[in-house]
């Protein structure tokens, strides 16, 4: 895809991407018949009956299939990875500590790098459990704090006055703060850490020349697309958390919305250090079952965003049934760790029913560990969350992250991180 076309599409038409597109199926009666691959059947046909067999045999098989056929293989931790804490101050009337950390992927200030913004509650003693998220438009958009560094990299030119020549400006401060209730997260005793996803890999089809890809050879057909690259960046943030005494690196919840919800699911599947995984309206290629072909489809996502997945995934355009995995198996890869899936009634493009079914069909893997998994056999009523080791809600409203969503994630974290019921 030509870069000029993508910039036109991304900058001009991004506001319309999540409208209910025509020409796609939104009718349950028209969902094609399908058979889901069984997460508990080994490649040789044997049935998985214990958690040990899942962990030693079947889980590696499933993870390999997702790497080879969909998300792509990513490299490990860079040898020269370097962290520079350039800001650590008390803020919000001394109720919080703000940190900003530059993560240099090649150990050089003039090389590919990302900026990690962290808010921690000042009143909490000891390492703090923390939500880690990627954001769409720059760390400076999460709050209107004037001290937050502007992104150095390409940004989405979505809001009027927010970007000039695809560079962030002061006008963008706080424009997305409705999605990040920083005050309430801190009040509940959790930290919030966020990274601008464009620092890791710009979100356009650039033939793998920018972001961290500048350090590596061009990906092969089974190697990392942008979603796997963004997930790789989340793992590098976790590398930092392991050396920060103020953050409990064993209680990190990775959370993402939309394409970044796809990313959080893959990050949690690929890196078992994440203690909790949260998918918000992630849809096709995230929590929604691909075989349902409801709302956004594999072909549509591969056509509009050819850089998100690896090239092998292209062969499943209009051919979902041939794929050896489906998204319930992605959810199952998180087991036995808790995972939360959230849908929105007004976001049929992301297939709320398909998102719910992925959680439900991951239950057999959780049951190997004696865990309840998702405590629902049918999609719950709107605004009526259910929480086992798998949590789910479908809320009223549209494609977004709301205070209601965060309230459920905080409640879910209280159960699994703090033992509260």
**Catalytic residue numbers?**
258, 399
Nearest to 103 by CA among 62, 67, 132: 132
CA 279/CA 277 separation, integer angstroms: 7
- Three-state DSSP class for residue 197: helix
Angle at which helix 259-270 crosses helix 59-66, to 10 degrees, equals: 140
Whether 106 contacts 132, CB under 8 Å = no
Q: What is the DSSP string of 230-245?
A: HHHHHHHHHHHHTT-T
Burial of 103 (0-12, 13-18, 19+ CB in 10 A): buried
Nearest to 6 by CA among 308, 289, 216: 308
Nearest to 265 by CA among 227, 221, 316: 227
Q: 163 forms bridges with which residues in the sheet?
A: 168
Other beta carbons within 10 Å of 266:
32
The DSSP letter of residue 291 is: G
Supply angle C-alpha 9, 257, 300, rounded to 5.
40
Burial of 27 (0-12, 13-18, 19+ CB in 10 A): exposed
Nearest to 227 by CA among 183, 195, 261: 261
Alpha carbon separation from 235 to 190, 271, 288, 354, 394 (Å, rounded):
19, 7, 24, 27, 28
The DSSP letter of residue 41 is: B
CA 222/CA 67 separation, integer angstroms: 7
The DSSP letter of residue 313 is: G
CA 421/CA 140 separation, integer angstroms: 35
């Amino acid at each position: 895809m030509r870069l000029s076309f993508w910039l036109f599409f991304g900058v001009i038409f991004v506001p319309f991407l999540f409208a209910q597109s025509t020409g796609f199926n939104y009718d349950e009666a028209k969902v094609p018949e399908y058979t889901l691959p069984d997460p508990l059947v080994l490649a040789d046909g044997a049935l998985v009956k214990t958690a040990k067999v899942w962990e030693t045999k079947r889980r590696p098989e499933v993870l390999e299939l997702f790497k080879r056929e969909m998300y792509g293989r990513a490299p490990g931790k860079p040898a020269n990875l370097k962290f520079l804490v350039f800001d650590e101050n008390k803020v919000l009337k001394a109720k919080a500590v703000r940190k900003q950390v530059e993560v240099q992927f090649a150990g050089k200030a003039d090389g590919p790098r990302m900026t990690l913004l962290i808010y921690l509650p000042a009143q909490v003693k000891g390492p703090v459990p923390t939500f880690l998220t990627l954001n769409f438009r720059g760390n400076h958009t999460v709050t209107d704090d004037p001290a937050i560094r502007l992104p150095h990299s390409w940004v989405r030119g979505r809001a009027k006055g927010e970007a000039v020549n695809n560079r962030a400006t002061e006008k963008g401060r706080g424009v997305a703060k409705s999605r990040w209730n920083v005050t309430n997260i801190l009040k509940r005793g959790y930290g919030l850490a966020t990274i601008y996803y464009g620092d890791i890999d710009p979100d356009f089809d650039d033939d793998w020349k920018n972001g961290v890809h500048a350090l590596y050879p061009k990906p092969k057909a089974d190697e990392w697309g942008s979603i796997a690259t963004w997930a790789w960046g989340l793992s590098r943030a976790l590398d930092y958390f392991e050396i920060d005494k103020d953050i409990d690196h064993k209680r990190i919840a990775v959370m993402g919305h939309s394409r970044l919800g796809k990313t959080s699911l893959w990050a949690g599947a690929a890196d078992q250090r994440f203690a909790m995984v949260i998918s918000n309206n992630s849809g096709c290629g995230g929590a929604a079952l691909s075989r349902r072909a409801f709302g956004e489809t594999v072909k549509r996502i591969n056509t509009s965003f050819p850089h998100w997945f690896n090239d092998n995934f292209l062969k499943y355009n209009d051919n979902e049934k041939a794929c050896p995995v489906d998204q319930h198996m992605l959810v199952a890869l998180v087991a036995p760790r808790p995972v939360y899936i959230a849908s929105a009634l007004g976001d049929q493009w992301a297939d709320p029913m398909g998102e719910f079914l992925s959680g439900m069909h991951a239950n057999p893997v959780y049951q190997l560990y004696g865990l309840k998994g998702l405590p629902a056999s049918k999609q719950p009523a709107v605004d009526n969350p259910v929480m086992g080791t798998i949590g789910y809600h479908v809320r009223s409203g549209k494609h977004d992250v709301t205070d209601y969503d965060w309230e459920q994630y905080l409640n879910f974290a209280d159960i699994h991180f703090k033992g509260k019921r």
